[in-house]
Chain A
Amino acid sequence: MGPAQILRYIAHIFVLLFLQLFLFRDTALLGFAYIFVHIGIVLLMPTEIPPIWAMIIAFCIGFLVDMFYDTIGIHAAACVLIAFFRPRIVGIFSVQGELNSMPEYNVESGGVLWFFQFALTSSFLFCSLLFILESTSLLVFFYALLKIIASSLFTAVFLTMYSYLWASRSKTKRR
């Protein structure tokens, strides 16, 4: 894990947190498609970070976001969930042995389609836990289902674009 990679990861943390807390906090396309770009901080984490530390970072990020949403514990729980399942989700879409060479899971290392599948599965897990914890009765549950599907799609599309921009940026730098 070189200093360049650590710096890049810190940049991810600041950019994605800023976007989520100040730009996308109340964004809801069509009234039910939300966007949670801060899960990108968990997904784009360098793979060399041990799982326990990954979960601690995820918990802190979730807790910080919770303070702005007044939902203490809900985002934190969902972030820890995807931090724990991240290696297993990546495993579904990849050939064994391919993963060890990746410094982090992004568009550059795995390609656009691969990253989109990974981001979609992760954000689906995240949104499911988030909206199930948030929905207070069975009446709201079916509406929550709609929110889960729409939000995870929206979030995954945004994160793929975000990671793609970083990938194209580092390509032009190399030339």
Chain B
Amino acid sequence: MINLLRFLYDKRNFLFFVLLEVLCGWLIFTFNKYQGAFYFNSSSAIVGNVLSANRSFTSYFDLQEQNDKLVSENILLHTLLEREKKIRKIDTLTVADSSRRAAYEFIPARVIKNSLTDTKNYITINKGSADGLTQYMGLVGPQGVVGEIKYCSEHYSTGFSVLHVKNGGLSARLSRSGAIGSVEWDGTDARYAKLKYIGKHYFIQPGDTVQTSGFNNVFPSGILIGVVEKVNDDNQSDYNITVRLATDFGSLDHVYVIRNKRKPEIDSLEVKLNKPKK
């Protein structure tokens, strides 16, 4: 018995090492696998405040670039507005139709933390549940799709960016052929992603634009994701398509959170459909 205790005492460093590593393993599996990291991630109050202060200091360095981005987005929006006005002028009937009212609401926010270098990248923004944000809202930037919100604290939120392996993919449509696929990131280059599940009966060529399909009720349809860069026609049933992402994730600052006002209504319908019959 004494010998056993002495043995344990001699090996105490090694035993403590094993104990700590097991603790780390437990932390990795509980907090990373199920993404339940609610208290210890960057949307928590303390880390959020530190990052926010850091960002408010560094944001002065790229003011010019951020301004240029916002101006070019404004130009685009003005153009769309003019086009819309022309269509309205032709329309002589005024229709009071609730389905024409805007279903999507945009909430402006700023990025306080963003990473490109992991295989699972997260974005933290400076708006939270106090500003009406909840889970599964879309995030878009001036250039295109950015990601999706996962957790909200009172004043901060954390979410997946598009640069996130194994997050189920982003439902996408090729604007020219109308083919529906899924944009997924492969964990290597932050500028490119893969477009999957596009059958070979479609004609695809580099330069085709890839937009959101609007199928998952997170993003409205027609928001730019990227442009087809390369089409590989290897021996599978689907194309192997590389998409150059529209958003420059390295210099992300201003983003908009998209709230779909009708998402609860649509979701409750789909839940009814999936309910097993008694």
Q: Are B189 and A31 in touch, CB under 8 angstroms?
A: yes
Q: Are A26 and B40 in touch, CB under 8 angstroms?
A: no
Q: Are B47 and A81 in touch, CB under 8 angstroms?
A: no
Q: Are A77 and B24 in touch, CB under 8 angstroms?
A: yes
Q: Are A73 and B17 in touch, CB under 8 angstroms?
A: no
Residue in A28, A31, A67, A133 whose Cβ sees the most chain B Cβ within 10 Å:
A67
B135 at interface (Cβ–Cβ under 8 A)?
A: no
**A71 closest partner in B (C-beta):** B32
Interface positions, chain A 121-147, Cβ under 8 Å from B, are 133-136, 139-140, 143
B169 at interface (Cβ–Cβ under 8 A)?
A: no
Distance to closest chain A CB from B188 (angstroms): 6
B204 at interface (Cβ–Cβ under 8 A)?
A: no
Q: How many Å lie between the Cα of A125 and that of B270 in the bound state? A: 49
Interface positions, chain B 8-29, Cβ under 8 Å from A, are 12-14, 16-17, 20-21, 23-28
A148 at interface (Cβ–Cβ under 8 A)?
A: no
Interface segment, one of B116-124, B227-235, B236-244: B116-124
A52 at interface (Cβ–Cβ under 8 A)?
A: yes
Q: Are B116 and A28 in touch, CB under 8 angstroms?
A: yes
Q: A72-B27, A136-B166 are in contact. Are A52 and B117 (CB under 8 A)?
A: no
B contact set with A: CB distance below 8 Å: 12-14, 16-17, 20-21, 23-28, 31-32, 37, 40-42, 44, 47, 51, 54, 113-120, 122, 158, 165-166, 186-190
Q: Are B13 and A84 in touch, CB under 8 angstroms?
A: yes
**B43 closest partner in A (C-beta):** A70
Q: Are A136 and B119 in touch, CB under 8 angstroms?
A: yes
Q: Are B119 and A72 in touch, CB under 8 angstroms?
A: no
Q: How many Å lie between the Cα of A10 and that of B115 in the bound state? A: 28
**B166 closest partner in A (C-beta):** A136
Which residues of B have CB within 8 Å of A28?
A: 116-117
Q: Are A74 and B32 in touch, CB under 8 angstroms?
A: yes
Interface positions, chain A 65-122, Cβ under 8 Å from B, are 66-74, 76-77, 80-81, 84
Which residues of B have CB within 8 Å of A80?
A: 17, 20-21, 24
Which residues of A have CB within 8 Å of B24?
A: 59, 62, 73-74, 76-77, 80
Inter-chain pairs besides A77-B25, A80-B17, A80-B20, 20 sampled, C-beta below 8 Å: A26-B115, A26-B117, A27-B117, A31-B189, A52-B16, A55-B16, A62-B24, A67-B44, A69-B118, A70-B42, A70-B122, A70-B158, A71-B118, A73-B25, A73-B28, A74-B24, A74-B32, A135-B119, A136-B119, A143-B187
| Sample of 15 A–B contacts (CB below 8 Å) | A22-B54, A25-B115, A26-B116, A31-B190, A55-B20, A56-B20, A68-B51, A71-B32, A73-B25, A73-B28, A73-B31, A74-B24, A80-B20, A134-B119, A136-B166
A contact set with B: CB distance below 8 Å: 22, 25-28, 31, 34, 51-52, 55-56, 59, 62, 66-74, 76-77, 80-81, 84, 133-136, 139-140, 143
Q: Are B31 and A72 in touch, CB under 8 angstroms?
A: yes
Q: How many Å lie between the Cα of A69 and that of B188 in the bound state? A: 18
**B17 closest partner in A (C-beta):** A84
Q: Are A34 and B117 in touch, CB under 8 angstroms?
A: yes
**B15 closest partner in A (C-beta):** A52
Q: How many Å lie between the Cα of A52 and that of B9 in the bound state? A: 12
Q: How many Å lie between the Cα of A163 and that of B118 in the bound state? A: 28
Q: How many Å lie between the Cα of A55 and that of B24 in the bound state? A: 12
Which residues of B have CB within 8 Å of A70?
A: 37, 41-42, 115, 122, 158
Distance to closest chain B CB from A133 (angstroms): 7
Q: A55-B16, A70-B41 are in contact. Are A136 and B165 (CB under 8 A)?
A: yes
Which residues of A have CB within 8 Å of B21?
A: 77, 80-81
* 8 Å CB contact of A59 from B14, B20, B120, B166: B20
Q: A136-B119, A143-B188 are in contact. Are A51 and B13 (CB under 8 A)?
A: yes
Distance to closest chain A CB from B14 (angstroms): 8
Q: Are A140 and B17 in touch, CB under 8 angstroms?
A: no
